[in-house]
Amino acid sequence: MRTKTTMKFKTLIASICLVTSQSLIAESLINDGSVENRVYTRVGIEPTTMLAVGYQQNVQIGELKNKLTSYVEWNTSLFRFGPDNSDLKIGGIIPVYENGNFKIVNDFNFSVGSTTNQNFDSLKLAAADEVSIGWFSKKWFTAATAEYEKILINKLTHTQYYRDRYYEDAVDGWYKGGGGTLQFGVTGGMTIMETVDVHVEVKKPFTEKFDNLTGAPLHVNLGLGYRF
């Protein structure tokens, strides 16, 4: 009985780690100026090799001083490419404090993601928030970042392979999110010829209890964007 319970628990944790690994925060806000839109792509290790594509647009909301940089982003595994192993994210980025080029920027998003492997199919809903503190000029930026993501709910569907080999009575269904993840790091980028953005970030991931996560010890992403 203990073995069955342990296997079920490990399956839940594995699914959370696999789906969480597909989380990619959108690139920095579109800098001040006449440009209102940007498309971008990014490759990285989080903790496996990932590819992301996204679109950003500046939006004026009511009487707010700063525009909200809204975005939608889709990312997937490079080696398990496709919708069955991907993540769709919708969010917004806005400066919450600024003094000249020094800014504190907040990025909040919701995401839905899925992963498929030999043992189960998983679907998750999550929310995340990232704070960046640093120097944001029109042609370059650098900042320290802190991010927290919380899986709100997770659906598991076990495969026949898993039932035949590990636990035939495994229960499919929705499970409460099994905690959250933290990431701390640095990011930076520059704008070339006023339209091309190059962006890099390096982060150290932890569980919400500050335990180390499995996979790559550092999450690294390299992005390329085009403003129009």
Query: What pLDDT does 34 receive?
Result: 66
Q: Are 184 and 150 in contact (CB under 8 A)?
A: no
The answer to whether the peptide bond before residue 83 is cis (omega within 30 degrees of 0) is no
Using the CB atoms, write b or e for 29-66: b if 16+ within 10 Å: bbbeeeeeebebebebbbbbebbbebebebeeeeeeeb
**CATH number for the segment(s) 2-227:** 2.40.128
Amino acid (one-letter) located at 139: K
Q: Tens place of pLDDT for every residue, the chain, 228 residues?
A: 444 544 444 444 444 333 333 333 344 555 555 678 999 999 998 877 889 999 999 988 887 778 889 999 999 988 888 888 999 999 999 999 999 999 999 999 999 999 898 899 999 999 999 999 999 988 899 999 999 999 999 999 999 999 999 988 999 999 887 779 999 999 999 999 888 999 999 999 999 888 888 777 899 999 999 998
pLDDT at 19: 35
pLDDT, residue 99, reads: 95
Dump the DSSP string for 119-147: SEEEEEEEEEEEEEEEEE-SSEEEEEEEE
Rounded-to-integer distance, Cα 146 and Cα 25, Å: 11
Q: What angle do CA 124, 50, 44 make, to 5 degrees?
A: 125
